[in-house]
């Protein structure tokens, strides 16, 4: 993980801690969270052939704002998946690794609106949501000529559901499932075209540690 | 018509002649020890005479003819079949000996010949029997898988006019960036050069030249030289003895496939000429091991009375030998444009691919002689792991001699000296000035030297094919280890030429080594 990413992940929860005292008095709850999870990409064959697996670790963080409208909340979060692999050649029955180092970085930003179901319990709060996703996709490899590496952003959408467990007044632990679709980000070229896989999205399971109300 | 055309066209080559002498006269095949003996491994260092532009070379589009032994007027030319024997492959479930004897009786034959690296038999039949009809009759039998005459093959290149100074072919293929990715493969990859032999070792042969010959029908008779000692040496730019593995000579039936022609050495240079050594020129896969397999007789082999010529069965033996001895790539810059199908070679190519060897085959040079493709290339379109290669010139347009055919799958630089006098493919090979003494007037005719080398620009689909073989070796080293995948990769990344998509001139396009070696990323 780069220093830049670490700073980004640290600042959001810090801000969340500072904000709640003022905002909660007006009925707006603000919390920041750090997140770690596992993502499984829909383009399974594509990721498996290049980076050796269709899934990997996801880290990130974000901020959520509970609005004074029942359980409505909005949030924005960022995360990052990073993997090293090798360029390949694929045939119908075999993938040949070519030993050319390749780095793949997927950096999603998700803007979510959702609803928290607080009526069941104040300590255990389920929620659902959905929204817009923007994925930055970076792929670099050795021996690349100018223009052959990729740094592009693609848009899509996501839906999610999860449960928050309030450990203390200011600290929460949650689990979340997110399904994302980023259509037509892949499949134009590379091994994704061979496998006819076009979706950069996938599903992820995340554990979130939140600070704030 | 060029000088060389005059010289070769009417010519009736010497090569076939010796075989013909044996078969037509009903003699047993010549014992090679009667005519060739290695008298010493010792030899003076090879001579490098640099770039030679003054030696006249033949045109690859010219028809190929062989010298004729004086007193023998049989003219078995490439594409024609040897008389007196046919190739028969009995089915697996048949008792080969019994079926052979029965067939022999039926054909009035004299003996069955079974050689190493074969799964077929050669039936020796009366020389008066029509071999085409005999083969057809045998092929129709239930116990026979295939039968064919013993068509004579030749190398797919005939030397031409000598002028140029750049290795434009490597630039055209963007090899510098390709070598960044895969610097010349390693000695783990063996490339078999199935050809006229390769200048792979040093020594001296004592030949017994017993037959006068004419190079041109009606031309002067060149005398038999009697016992002559011919020095030969490793081509300096191919490296030392450790560069070569499992050499085999199916023309002389021994393990010393010395090149007495120059074709095979030139081809081997394009595959694996030493590179980045401050000398000479570059090769595609400059670290591979080279397996010299001799299946084509040069003029001198025929003049000296080699017991075999480049018939389909000899070519097939060479291919099988290469596959059985762990060659991962087999280069076939040879073939024939006339004669019937070559099931024995087709089967050998399939066998080689089945053993994990990629096979590159020259498409043929007879575009201006009826556009007749190389018969041996017909197997490749239906076989993943073997490709037939056409040639482009320096302008990257199709070379004037390169045939157009449904069998053409890829194209590569083969040179076009008609379009551009500096447009051949340059490599080091035998010094033709000192080798081809039969090109001189009779008074100056004498024994050749095979220990002197020079750089020549050759052209032909023979020259295009080793570019593909070299790339196959690089791909194998890079990790694409099955022949069908190598073919698929080459085709996927080929640069389309001519009409969009596949066409008969360029196939799917010109090989693109850098892109092919770099392969596929996740999204690009």
CA distance A195 to chain B (A): 10
Helix axes B263-272, B461-478, angle to 10 degrees: 30
Q: B396 to each of A204, B242, B441, B491, B516, how far by Cα in Å?
A: 51, 36, 38, 17, 19
Contact status of B186 with chain A (Cβ, < 8 Å): no
Per-domain residue ranges for chain B? 3-72+155-518, 81-151
Predicted local distance difference test score (pLDDT) of residue B54: 64
Query: What 3-state DSSP class applies to B469?
Result: helix
**Local confidence band at B276 (pLDDT 50, 70, 90 cut-offs):** confident
**Local confidence band at B115 (pLDDT 50, 70, 90 cut-offs):** confident
Nearest to B211 by CA among B77, B27, B24, B18: B18
User: Cα–Cα distance between A61 and A42 in angstroms, integer?
Assistant: 22
CA distance B137 to chain A (A): 42
Helix axes B483-493, B461-478, angle to 10 degrees: 110
Stated as kind and residue range, the H or E segment containing A63 is strand A55-66
Asked which of B2-16, B17-31, B123-137, B220-234 is least confident by mean pLDDT, the reply is: B2-16
Contact status of B518 with chain A (Cβ, < 8 Å): yes
CB-based contact B489 A89, cutoff 8 Å: yes
% of chain B residues with pLDDT over 70: 86
**Local confidence band at B384 (pLDDT 50, 70, 90 cut-offs):** very high
CB-based contact B521 A141, cutoff 8 Å: yes
Predicted local distance difference test score (pLDDT) of residue B148: 93
Residue of A nearest to B481 (CA): A96
Residues B238-268: tens digit of each pLDDT: 988 899 999 999 999 999 999 999 999 999 9
Asked if residue A15 has pLDDT above 60, the reply is no
Asked which of A38-52, B47-61, B443-457 is least confident by mean pLDDT, the reply is: B47-61
Asked if residue B507 has pLDDT above 60, the reply is yes
pLDDT averaged over every residue in chain A: 90
CB-based contact A87 B524, cutoff 8 Å: no
CA distance A201 to chain B (A): 14
In sequence order, the β-bridge partners of residue A55 are A40
In sequence order, the β-bridge partners of residue A158 are A131, A180
Nearest to B43 by CA among B451, B434, B453, B431: B451
CATH of B3-72+155-518, picked from 3.40.50.200, 3.40.50.720, 3.40.1110.10, 3.20.20.370, is: 3.40.50.200
Asked which of A11-15, B123-127, B497-501, B514-518 is least confident by mean pLDDT, the reply is: A11-15
Asked if residue B159 has pLDDT above 70, the reply is no
Asked which of B67-71, B275-279, B325-329, B338-342 is least confident by mean pLDDT, the reply is: B67-71
**Which domains occur in chain A, in start order?**
3-212 (2.40.160.20)
Which distant-in-sequence residues (6+ apart) come within 8 Å of B261 by Cβ?
B155, B196, B197, B296, B298, B299, B300, B301, B430, B435
The whole model's pTM is what?
0.85
CB-based contact A102 B177, cutoff 8 Å: no
Residue of B nearest to A197 (CA): B523
Predicted local distance difference test score (pLDDT) of residue B73: 38
CB-based contact B523 A186, cutoff 8 Å: yes
Asked if residue B17 has pLDDT above 50, the reply is no
Direct distance between the N- and C-terminal alpha carbons of chain B, in angstroms, rounded to an integer: 51
- Contact list in B for residue A186 (CB cut-off 8 A) is 522-523
Q: Which residue in A91, A102, A104, A194 has the most chain B C-beta atoms within 10 A of its own C-beta, making it the best mutation to test that interface?
A: A91
Residues B196-214: tens digit of each pLDDT: 999 999 999 999 998 899 8
Helix axes B343-354, B312-324, angle to 10 degrees: 10
How many alpha carbons lie under 13 Å from residue B382 in its C-beta half-sphere? 6
Residues A83-94: tens digit of each pLDDT: 999 999 999 889
**Local confidence band at B77 (pLDDT 50, 70, 90 cut-offs):** low
CB-nearest to A50 from B481, B485, B522 is B522
CB-based contact B479 A98, cutoff 8 Å: yes
**Local confidence band at B161 (pLDDT 50, 70, 90 cut-offs):** very low
Predicted local distance difference test score (pLDDT) of residue B33: 64
Predicted local distance difference test score (pLDDT) of residue A27: 78
Predicted local distance difference test score (pLDDT) of residue B163: 32
- Contact list in A for residue B513 (CB cut-off 8 A) is none
**Ordered DSSP codes for B251-270:** TTTBS----SSSHHHHHHHH
- Contact list in A for residue B180 (CB cut-off 8 A) is 143
**Mean pLDDT across B393-398:** 95
Nearest to B348 by CA among B376, B375, B374: B376
Q: What's the CATH number for B81-151?
A: 3.30.70.1510
Asked if residue A186 has pLDDT above 60, the reply is yes
Asked if residue B434 has pLDDT above 80, the reply is yes
Q: Which residue in A53, A83, A88, A89 has the most chain B C-beta atoms within 10 A of its own C-beta, making it the best mutation to test that interface?
A: A89
CB-nearest to B521 from A91, A99, A102 is A102
- Contact criterion met (CB below 8 Å) for B449 and B431: yes
- Contact list in A for residue B479 (CB cut-off 8 A) is 89, 96-99
Asked if residue B445 has pLDDT above 80, the reply is yes
Predicted local distance difference test score (pLDDT) of residue B65: 61
Predicted local distance difference test score (pLDDT) of residue B75: 52
pLDDT averaged over every residue in chain B: 87
Residues A100-138: tens digit of each pLDDT: 999 999 999 999 999 999 888 889 999 999 999 999 999
Residues A155-173: tens digit of each pLDDT: 999 999 999 999 998 999 9
- Contact criterion met (CB below 8 Å) for A60 and A13: no
- Please determine whether the domains at B3-72+155-518 and B81-151 fall in the same fold group of CATH: no
Asked if residue B4 has pLDDT above 70, the reply is no
**Mean pLDDT across B275-302:** 92
Q: Which of A136-145, B160-169, B469-478 has the highest mean pLDDT?
A: B469-478
**Local confidence band at B70 (pLDDT 50, 70, 90 cut-offs):** low
Quick check: ipTM above 0.95?
no
């Amino acid at each position: 993980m780069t220093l830049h990413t670490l700073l980004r992940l640290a600042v959001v929860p810090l801000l969340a801690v500072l904000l709640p005292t003022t905002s909660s008095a007006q009925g707006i709850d603000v919390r920041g969270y750090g997140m770690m999870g596992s993502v499984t990409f829909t383009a399974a064959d594509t990721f498996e052939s290049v980076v050796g697996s269709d899934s990997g670790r996801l880290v990130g963080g974000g901020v959520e704002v509970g609005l004074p409208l029942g359980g409505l909340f909005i949030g924005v979060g960022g995360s990052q998946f990073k993997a090293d692999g090798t360029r390949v050649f694929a045939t119908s029955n075999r993938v040949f690794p070519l030993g050319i180092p390749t780095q793949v970085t997927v950096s999603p930003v998700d803007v979510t609106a959702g609803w928290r179901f607080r009526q069941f319990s104040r300590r255990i709060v389920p929620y659902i949501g959905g929204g817009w996703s923007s994925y930055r996709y970076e792929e670099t490899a050795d021996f690349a000529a100018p223009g052959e590496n990729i740094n592009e952003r693609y848009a899509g959408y996501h839906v999610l559901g999860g449960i928050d467990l309030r450990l203390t007044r200011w600290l929460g632990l949650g689990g979340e499932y997110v399904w994302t679709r980023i259509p037509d980000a892949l499949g134009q070229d590379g091994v994704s075209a061979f496998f006819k896989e076009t979706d950069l999205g996938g599903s992820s399971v995340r554990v979130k540690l939140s600070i704030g109300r | 018509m060029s000088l060389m055309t005059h010289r070769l066209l009417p010519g009736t080559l010497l090569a076939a002649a010796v075989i013909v002498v044996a078969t037509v006269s009903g003699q047993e095949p010549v014992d090679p020890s009667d005519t060739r003996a290695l008298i010493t491994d010792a030899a003076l260092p090879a001579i490098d005479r640099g770039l030679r532009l003054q030696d006249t070379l033949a045109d690859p589009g010219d028809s190929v003819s062989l010298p004729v032994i004086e007193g023998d007027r049989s003219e078995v030319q490439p594409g024609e079949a040897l008389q007196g024997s046919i190739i028969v492959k009995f089915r697996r479930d048949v008792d080969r000996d019994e079926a052979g004897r029965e067939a022999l009786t039926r054909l009035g034959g004299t003996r069955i010949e079974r050689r190493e690296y074969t799964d077929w038999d050669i039936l020796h039949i009366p020389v008066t029997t029509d071999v085409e009809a005999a083969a057809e009759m045998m092929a129709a039998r239930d116990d026979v898988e295939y039968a064919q005459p013993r068509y004579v093959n030749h190398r797919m290149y005939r030397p031409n006019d000598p002028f140029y100074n750049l290795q434009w072919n490597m630039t055209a293929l963007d090899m510098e960036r390709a070598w960044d990715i895969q610097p010349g493969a390693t000695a783990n990859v063996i490339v078999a050069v199935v050809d006229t032999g390769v200048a792979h070792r040093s020594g001296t042969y004592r030949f017994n030249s017993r037959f006068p010959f004419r190079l041109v029908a009606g031309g002067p008779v060149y005398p038999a030289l009697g016992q002559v000692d011919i020095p030969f040496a490793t081509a300096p730019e191919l490296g030392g003895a450790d560069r070569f593995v499992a050499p085999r000579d199916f023309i002389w039936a021994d393990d010393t496939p010395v090149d007495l022609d120059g074709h095979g050495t030139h081809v081997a240079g394009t595959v694996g000429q030493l590179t980045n050594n401050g000398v000479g020129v570059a090769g595609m896969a400059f670290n591979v091991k080279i397996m010299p397999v001799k299946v084509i007789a040069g003029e001198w082999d025929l003049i000296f009375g080699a017991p075999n010529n480049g018939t389909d069965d000899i070519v097939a033996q060479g291919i099988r030998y290469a596959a059985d001895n762990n060659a991962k790539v087999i280069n076939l810059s040879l073939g024939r444009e006339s004669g019937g199908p070559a099931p024995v070679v087709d089967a050998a190519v399939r066998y080689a691919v089945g053993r994990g060897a990629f096979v590159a085959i020259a498409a043929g040079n007879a575009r201006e002689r009826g556009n007749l493709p190389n018969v041996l290339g017909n197997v490749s379109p239906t076989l993943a792991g073997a490709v037939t290669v056409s040639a482009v010139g320096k302008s990257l347009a199709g070379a004037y001699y390169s045939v157009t055919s449904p069998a053409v799958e890829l194209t590569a630089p083969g040179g076009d000296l008609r379009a551009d006098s500096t447009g051949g493919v340059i490599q080091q090979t035998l010094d033709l000035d000192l080798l081809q003494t039969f090109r001189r007037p009779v008074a100056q005719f004498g024994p050749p030297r095979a220990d002197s080398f020079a750089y020549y620009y050759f052209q032909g689909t023979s020259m295009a094919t080793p570019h593909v073989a070299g790339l196959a070796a690089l791909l194998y080293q890079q990790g694409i280890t099955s022949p069908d995948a190598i073919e698929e990769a080459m085709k996927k990344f080929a640069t389309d030429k001519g009409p969009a998509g596949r066409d008969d001139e360029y196939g799917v396009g010109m090989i693109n080594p850098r892109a092919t070696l770099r392969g596929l990323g996740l999204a690009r």
